[in-house]
Structure 1
Amino acid sequence: MLRHLPNLLSGFRLLAAPLAAWAILAEHDTAALVIFAGAGFSDLADGYVARRWGFTSQAGAWLDPLADKLLMLLCFLALLKVGAAPFWLVALVIVRDLVIGAGALLAKMLDLPLRIAPLMIGKATTAVLVGYVGIVLLLLALELEAPRLVTAGNYTVAVFAALSAATYLYSFLRALLSGRRTA
């Protein structure tokens, strides 16, 4: 059972994602914050357990990033719907994920010499995205307005998302132009 703990935690995040989005849309802001925080801690825990005890698996390699992407996508879309995140920012976050996903899929289909692994900028961007959603949910739950903080958060997310998308795109194009195959 313990061997499957990382995948169970990722599965929890898959279930928590629509629940967090529903709580945001229903304006149950404290519940949304608690669900999102629980999902965030489950992400840290599953990674720690998987690495610490070597409980890695092919399923986990796909399940973990899928759960992360779904959680962020649904939360950003819900924040957009309730007016807590601007359209341009949500669009940029979605385009970033599409660039990364399309590049990875294309590299796999073309058997390109590209190691599909998270880059440091990708991890930093994920931390910024999680921090942004957490802060916005905290402000909503506490019924506080902090326009300067939110504006700074918007631009921080935008810079990290753009740098991340550009870095991954560069990696994909470099692999594509190298003309070598991995097999």
Structure 2
Amino acid sequence: MGGDGAGAVGTRIWTIPNVLSMLRLALVPPFLVFIVLGDYVAALVILIVASFTDLLDGYLARRLGQVTRLGQLLDPAADRLYIFAALVGLAANQLVPWWIVVVIVARDVFLLILGVVLANHGYGPLPVHQLGKVATFALFFGLPVIMLGLAFPVVEPVSEPIGWAITLWGAFLYWWAGIIYAIETARVIRIPRVADEPRSDTLEQGG
């Protein structure tokens, strides 16, 4: 990260981890198209590739000292887009109800509003809460398990109830984490400002 100290967060754009993150984002549209077309095998292959690049770019960012602000934004954005794409594609095929799409999207809109409130008070985004990470992982894991049964009907009697259980639990944790962020936002904006500089120590918000 040219010039950044060990453990520092850089501002470079063209790093190997960032390119991998961009590749993962570029795979979102074909992932959605394959789900809508009902080609769940191809969609799962894309998801496996995306998951591998996710692990790889995180490892390389730490190994090569290439942790960047852009990378901190791209990673959670990619996770959310894959979750949204899976939900929208499955709902379009009437395989999951639209209400669960609304529940998940509404939570992120809620966090966006909290971010605006924080910004209006001169604060940056809140640090990621562990519960948010667990919720995102549950959704990122549960939806593909549902898709696994659609791709391979022989396992559907097992994968469908497991996938739904994980997905619904993830949706519950997703909102639970959102409420925690709301409570923390209310606490932070009541703190008297000591300095004039905005507090923007972290760039990721809410898993």
Q: Please identify, of 13-22 and 148-157, the stretch whose mean Cα deviation from structure 2 is larger.
A: 148-157
Task: Give, in whole Å, the separation in 1 of the partners of 2:193 and 2:95.
Answer: 46
Alignment of 1:94 with 2:94, yes or no, is no
Percent of pairs identical after alignment?
A: 27
Aligned residue in 1 for 2:178: 165
Task: Give, in whole Å, the separation in 2 of the partners of 1:181 and 1:78.
Answer: 48
- TM score, norm. by length of structure 2: 0.78
Alignment of 1:36 with 2:44, yes or no, is no
1:125-140 aligned within 5 A? 125-140=135-150
String of CA shifts for 1:36-61, please: whole Å, max 9, x gaps. Answer: 12112222221222123221122222
Deviation at 1:150, TM superposition (A): 4.1
Q: 1:4 to 1:62 in 2, by over 3 A?
A: same
Aligned residue in 1 for 2:37: 26
1:105-120 aligned within 5 A? 105-112=116-123, 116-120=126-130
Aligned residue in 2 for 1:15: 26
Q: 1:6 to 1:109 in 2, by over 3 A?
A: farther
* Structure of higher CA gyration radius: 2
AA of the residue aligned to 2:162: L
Alignment of 1:66 with 2:77, yes or no, is yes
Task: Give, in whole Å, the separation in 2 of the partners of 1:115 and 1:98.
Answer: 14
Aligned counterpart in structure 2 of residue 121 of structure 1, from 117, 120, 131: 131
> Does the Cα contact within 8 Å between 1:13 and 1:71 map onto a contact in 2?
no
> Does the Cα contact within 8 Å between 1:17 and 1:74 map onto a contact in 2?
yes
Q: Aligned Cα RMSD in Å?
A: 2.2
- Where structure 2 has 5 or more consecutive residues not aligned to the other structure, the ranges are 1-13, 198-207
> Does the Cα contact within 8 Å between 2:136 and 2:170 map onto a contact in 1?
no
AA of the residue aligned to 2:175: A
String of CA shifts for 1:109-130, please: whole Å, max 9, x gaps. Answer: 4312x55332111111111011
Q: 1:155 to 1:61 in 2, by over 3 A?
A: closer
- TM score, norm. by length of structure 1: 0.87
Task: Give, in whole Å, the separation in 2 of the partners of 1:156 and 1:85.
Answer: 15
Q: 1:181 to 1:123 in 2, by over 3 A?
A: farther
* Structure with greater helix percent: 1
> Does the Cα contact within 8 Å between 2:143 and 2:163 map onto a contact in 1?
no
Corresponding residue pairs, total: 181
